[in-house]
Amino acid sequence: MNKRSLAWALVAAVFFVTCPAHGQKQKVRDIYANNNLAAWCIVPFDSKNRGPEERAQMLRSLGITKLAYDWRAEHIPTFDEELNTLKKYHIKLQGFWLGVGRDPANDRALRLILDLFKRHHMKTQLWCLLGEDTNLNHMSQAQKVAYSAEPFAYIAREAAKIGCTVGLYNHEGWFGEPENQLAIIEYLKMPNIGMVYNFHHAAAQIDRFKEFFPKILPHLLALNISGLKKGPPGRVVPVGQGDSEMEMMRIVRDSKYKGPIGIINEATAPDAEVGLRLNMDGLKKILQAMGDTAALATYK
């Protein structure tokens, strides 16, 4: 085995150990249990502008033990404090958001985050969003895949050096379509790249969810739920107030998915705690309707 093959074999070993989608046995018996929820969109989407300590206290009061961290430039000075506080309150850093550009090798934010992880010996997921690019308008599908995959190849290589994984984060547009993300993953063939699927960016994908979900399942690192209403255009609402999320959640529950379930506050309420509680109450309503008493029993 040459050095390159040996290096990727070691990366694959790390990935298969750390990624639930690849068969790791979980302590979580039900994916919708309180202890499997990961709070998402609660840092910049919080009218109270909580700091790390207040945020951790809020999560513990809700029984949430995982956080996916989204941020803006003003939060950079508190990155180290955030990770130290999460450790103090025994809250797992499930993921860390990153907007991806065309030149990741010279991306200050990427280097800042990777250095942060290295400094704290943190093995986690980078949730990567690739923005819209007008260059795609003049490309074939194969060209779009190769062009979009290029920055992720660099990011995944750098993340692998410190035992981290990369999740392609669906938003909207070409990159937000699950089939296109699958094509990127298959093109790269890198073991530490997967997907983060968001209900709140899936309004146009409701009707075909049951068709593509089995295809993305082997690559799924995390799944974030929200309420969804059909109709042009589809609307995002709190969990339990839509007409589509329960069936989608049933499909996920009945699958082999054992990863975290994100509970979000992006467009739910100004106060992050109010938004999380509203979505958790809606989740409990759906669990009741689905007869999922084991998961329901985990909530206070």
* CATH number (domain holding residue 275): 3.20.20.150
Residues in CB range of 155: below 8 A, 6 or more apart:
98, 100, 104, 110, 126, 128, 166
Instruction: Dump the DSSP string for 146-198.
Output: HHHHHHHHHHHHHHHTTT-EEEEE--STGGGSHHHHHHHHHHH--TTEEEEEE
51, 78 Cβ separation under 8 angstroms: yes
Measure the CA angle with vertex 178, ends 129 and 283; round to 5°: 85
pLDDT band at 12 (very low <50, low <70, confident <90, very high): very low
Distances (CA, A) of 205 to 128, 245, 273, 292: 20, 12, 29, 25
- What's the number of domains the chain is made of? 1
Q: Does 239 fall in a domain?
A: yes
Report if residue 4 sits inside a domain.
no
16 has a pLDDT exceeding 50: no
Residue 231's pLDDT band, with cuts at 50, 70 and 90, is confident
Q: Measured between alpha carbons, how far is residue 280 from residues 125, 256, 258, 263, 296 in Å?
A: 24, 23, 19, 7, 11
Q: How far apart are CA 142 and CA 160, in angstroms?
A: 26
CA gap 185, 181 in Å, rounded: 6
In a domain, 13, yes or no: no
Averaged pLDDT, 90-118: 97
**Position 77 in a domain:** yes
SS3 54: helix
- DSSP lists the bridge partners of residue 197 as 223
18 is a domain residue:
no
CA 270/CA 250 separation, integer angstroms: 29
The 10s digit of each residue's pLDDT in 32-69 is 999 999 999 999 999 999 999 999 999 999 999 999 99
Q: Tell me whether residue 67 is in a domain.
A: yes
The share of the chain scoring above pLDDT 70, in percent, equals 90
pLDDT of 234: 76
Note whether 113 and 76 are within 8 A (CB). no
pLDDT band of 233, cuts 50, 70, 90: confident
pLDDT recorded at residue 216: 98
Residue with more model confidence, 52 or 5: 52
* Amino acid letter, 28: V
For 66, the 3-state DSSP assignment is: strand
Q: pLDDT class for 235, splitting at 50, 70, 90?
A: confident
- For 155, the domain range is 28-296
- Residue 156 φ/ψ, nearest 5 degrees: -65, -40
Residue 5 within any structural domain of the chain: no
Position 21 in a domain: no
Lowest mean pLDDT among 90-99, 124-133, 151-160, 229-238: 229-238
Q: What are phi and psi of 204, to 5 degrees?
A: -85, 0
Region 185-212: what's the mean pLDDT? 96
Contacts of 136 (CB under 8 A, 6+ apart): 144, 147, 148, 174
pLDDT higher than threshold 90 for residue 6: no
> Does 103 have pLDDT greater than 60?
yes
Instruction: Report percent pLDDT > 90 for the chain.
Output: 84
Q: How confident is the model at residue 210 (pLDDT cuts 50, 70, 90)?
A: very high
For residue 17, name the pLDDT band (cuts at 50, 70, 90): very low
pLDDT value at residue 9? 47
- Residue 247's SS3 state is helix
Instruction: Quote the DSSP letter at residue 132.
Output: P
Average pLDDT over residues 168-181: 94
Q: What is the mean pLDDT of residues 189-205?
A: 95
